[in-house]
Chains A and B, each alone.
Chain A
Amino acid sequence: MAYPYVSDREVRLLSTYFGDPKQRHIETYVKRGGYSALEKALGMGPDDVVEIVKSSGLRGRGGAGFPTGVKWSFMPKEKKKAHYLLCNADESEPGTFKDRELMRWDPHQLIEGCLIGAHAIRAQHVYIYCRGEFFEANQVLARAVEDAYAKGYIGENILDSGHDIEVTVHQGAGAYICGEETGMMNSLEGRRGEPRIKPPFPAAVGAFGKPSTINNVETLCAIPHIVKNGGEWYRQWGTEKSPGTKLFCVSGHVIKPGNYELPLGFPLIELIEDVCGGMKDGNALKAVIPGGSSVPLINAEEARACKLDYEGCVDVGTMLGCASVIVMDETTDIVKQVRRMVDFYAHESCGLCTPCREGTTWTAQILRRIENGKGTEDDLDTLMEMTQNMVGTTICVLSDSVAAPVQSSIEKFRDEYLALIRRGERVGAA
């Protein structure tokens, strides 16, 4: 049940109750077995919880795919200072819209995951950093947290376990870069949301200078299920290296866009043609971005070969990212869409590192000029080389994200650029 559409190919763990308005109510959530994983976790030592998560092979769903259990194990075992868990709900990667659904349909699932995570890393306070634009999700979440406090799932001596955990819903204010973990910590501290240099890593010096861990909403939502059923259970889906299910956010030119929860390793082409009902208006597939705008786009041929897991995407020269599948049909003006993505990065660059601050805008300027028929073939060489200079030369990877769509589109759709440059012809201009 992947609101607003349904497919029988799905494996619904996290999205079971999408489209069920009753699930927001704590009574319903508890009646359906909610918070039992929390009870189980609180009865275990923190390190045992970490072990379960490690054994599940769960990888971070925010884009980088780092194993969650391993990340948790970096936290100091002895609690000399306060520890913090930050839930990254600042969903803003173009093409991604899963966290908002997770929060608005099943807020307690997230809260339970946060509490278990906090217990595992010995944190006494969880900040759910929720994207500012999500007024609705924010309010659903705030109410759910309030309800959980009232029922004793959050606060002092949770479920008589002797553990105290606070949860605060923190609202962002409009900055993509706050989805980067160190940018988020700065933003939470009331600073400009500029990323920090690592080391020190958050597990040593994180939010408020204390050991911290940052996990994505979807990652934390998977935790209660894993704790309840065990790591092996979770591994029945997905692949050896990418176990479990994943929410795929499909947007663009498909008949039924939406969030579909599928086992990792699912073939991309089946996702488009079967699960999503095929291409809109019967048009042919032209390109796909499988992981949000920060990953290289692939052409139709590569899409047919692509398996949707962390390794499968790398095999066709792209990345799974946060599994935001943007589908483009033959009418798509690639140059315009790439320019639009680059505009986004130029708008969202924090401005700290020079290659990114100057490079994002410069790239957008060149692309706009090409789009307006004033480009030259040299511009393509400049774009290729200059965006390469933005890779690996900055603190965070926002700058690298510009190179992905630009370079991949020039490599794969050079003809479209050349048509604009030589004749001012634009695809889909009619």
Chain B
Amino acid sequence: MSDVPFKNPGWAGNTGEFDLTEEEVRGDDFVGTRPLHGGHASGAGTMPFMLPETNPDAKLFEGEYQERFDKILTRYPDKQAALLPTLALTQELRGYVSAASMDRVAELLGLSPAYVRGVTTFYTMYNKRPVGRHLVQVCTNISCSLCGADDVVEAFLRYTDTELGETSEDGNFTVIEAECLAACGFPTCVQINSRYYENVTPSEVPKIVEHLKAQTDGDS
């Protein structure tokens, strides 16, 4: 995960008084290393990745994902409690939670599809429709706003050539405003897929956008 070819965006190290590498701040020996099968059941419900490439038709579930799903079920007194982690797993695979996905999750957990829809729509992290490979969530809540978050949003929109909430034509980016990401000391905080980019200023936005583009263009 630590292939950002420039300093600062993505971590808060160089703003402070510590001599730390980005890897050390992020904990790269811990983060992004979790196995697809979920590792120990206690942490199987934590989502390892929000992946740029997803498959809306991926099977729910098979292989290592089935293993992870089975582990999640062991951690709660009833199946319903596994709903949130299961939806997260679904989104990790499929990129968003479609009606068909809700239906399937309902079937897996013995719930009604309507119930699953009610829960899914309550939470903002479940994408109800497909999003770009990189979901850019700029915090515009008070602390970031005080430090110029609005300009960061504008810069992202300009450099990704998209409208707020829409997905860019190349399918790379969806830019949205986010509520407080709890990184108020590192404004502006931008969450892009699973990753926090902290202390982001408008002038750094083009570098980040280019970097992300290169990442997905390289993958495909």
Judge A-B direct contact (beta carbons within 8 Å).
Answer: yes
Q: B140 contacts the other chain (Cβ, under 8 Å)? A: yes
A82 CB contact (under 8 Å) in B17, B39, B77, B187: B77
With A104-B27, A341-B142 known as contacts, the answer to whether A190 contacts B182 (CB < 8 A) is no
| Shortest beta-carbon distance from B51 to chain A in Å | 12
Q: How far, in Å, is A59 (CB) from chain B's closest CB?
A: 21
Asked if A251 contacts B122 (CB within 8 A), the reply is no
Let me know if A97 and B123 touch, CB within 8 A.
Answer: no
**Residues on A with beta carbons closer than 8 Å to the beta carbon of B194:** 135-136
Contact present for B180 and A140 (CB under 8 Å):
no
Q: A134-B182, A251-B187, A324-B184 are in contact. List 14 more A-B contacts (CB 8 A).
A: A3-B12, A21-B25, A94-B179, A95-B184, A96-B180, A97-B185, A100-B182, A132-B125, A139-B48, A142-B39, A168-B76, A169-B45, A190-B76, A191-B119
Q: Is A252 a contact of B123 with CB atoms below 8 Å?
A: no
Is there contact, CB below 8 Å, between B81 and A208? Answer: yes
Asked whether, in the complex, the Cβ of A130 is within 8 Å of the Cβ of B77, the reply is no
A143 and B33 form a contact (CB under 8 A) = yes
- Chain B positions within 8 Å of A, measured between CB atoms, are 12-13, 15-18, 20, 24-27, 29-34, 39-43, 45-48, 50, 75-78, 80-85, 87-88, 109, 118-119, 122-126, 140-143, 145-147, 179-187, 191, 194-196
Of A154, A170, A250, A324, which one neighbours B45 at CB under 8 angstroms? A170
Cα–Cα, bound, A139→B42 (Å): 11
Chain B residues positioned under 8 Å from A132 (CB to CB): 47, 88, 123, 125
Q: A190-B82, A326-B146 are in contact. Are A97 and B183 (CB under 8 A)?
A: yes
Chain B residue at smallest Cβ distance from A189: B81
Considering the complex, which residues of chain A in the window 37-59 have a beta carbon less than 8 Å from any beta carbon of chain B?
none
Chain B residues with CB under 8 Å of A154's CB are 42
Q: Are B195 and A139 in contact (CB under 8 A)?
A: no
By the criterion CB–CB under 8 Å, are B143 and A192 in contact? no
A372 at the B interface (CB under 8 A): no
| Contact between chains at A188 and B81 (CB < 8 Å) | yes
A19 to B24, CA, bound (A): 8
A94 CB → nearest B CB, Å: 4
Pick from A19, A92, A100: contact of B20, CB under 8 Å: A19
Q: Which chain A residues border B24 with CB–CB below 8 Å?
A: 21
In the assembled complex, the Cα of A135 lies from the Cα of B26 at a distance in Å of 11
Chain B minimum-CB-distance residue to A144:
B30
Q: Contact residues of A with B, CB < 8 Å?
A: 3-6, 19, 21, 24, 82, 91-97, 99-100, 104, 130-136, 138-146, 149, 154, 166-176, 187-194, 208, 249-253, 256-259, 289, 293, 324, 326, 328, 332, 336-337, 340-341, 344, 347-348, 350
A94 near B18: Cβ-Cβ < 8 Å: no
Min CB–CB distance A207 → chain B (angstroms) = 9
> For residue B27, which residues in chain A have a CB less than 8 angstroms away from its CB?
21, 24, 104, 136, 139-140
Q: Are A93 and B119 in contact (CB under 8 A)?
A: no
Closest beta carbon of chain B to A323's beta carbon, Å: 12
Closest Cβ of chain A to B83, distance in Å, is 3
With contact pairs A21-B27, A249-B184 given, residues A170 and B85 touching in the complex (Cβ less than 8 Å): yes
Distance in angstroms from A125 CB to nearest chain B CB is: 8
Do the beta carbons of A344 and B180 come within 8 Å of each other?
A: yes
Q: Is the CB of A96 within 8 A of B182?
A: yes
Counting chain A CB atoms within 10 Å of each CB, the highest count among B15, B41, B146 belongs to B146
Residue with the highest number of chain B CB atoms closer than 10 Å, among A99, A138, A336, A350: A138
Q: Are B142 and A340 in contact (CB under 8 A)?
A: yes
**Roughly how many angstroms separate A130 CA and B187 CA in the complex, as a whole number?**
22
Shortest Cβ distance from residue B25 to the other chain A in the assembled complex, whole angstroms: 8
Task: Assess the A168–B34 pair: CB atoms within 8 A.
Answer: no
Q: Are B32 and A173 in contact (CB under 8 A)?
A: no
In the assembled complex, the CB of B3 is this many whole angstroms from the nearest CB of chain A, namely 16
With both beta carbons as reference points, the residue of chain A lying nearest to B48 in the complex is identified as A139
Contacts of B187 in A (CB 8 A): 251, 257
What's the Cα separation between A192 and B20 when bound, in Å?
40
Contacts of A189 in B (CB 8 A): 78, 80-81
Q: With CB as the reference atom, state the residue of chain A lying closest to B183.
A: A97
B18 with A3: CB separation less than 8 A: yes
Q: Which A residues touch B81, using CB under 8 A?
A: 188-190, 208
B182 in contact with A257 (CB, 8 Å): no
* CB–CB A99/B142 < 8 A: no
- State whether A192 touches B47 (Cβ < 8 A): no
Those 9 A-B pairs whose CB atoms lie nearest each other, nearest first: A4-B16, A142-B43, A190-B83, A174-B125, A173-B123, A174-B124, A251-B184, A251-B143, A135-B194
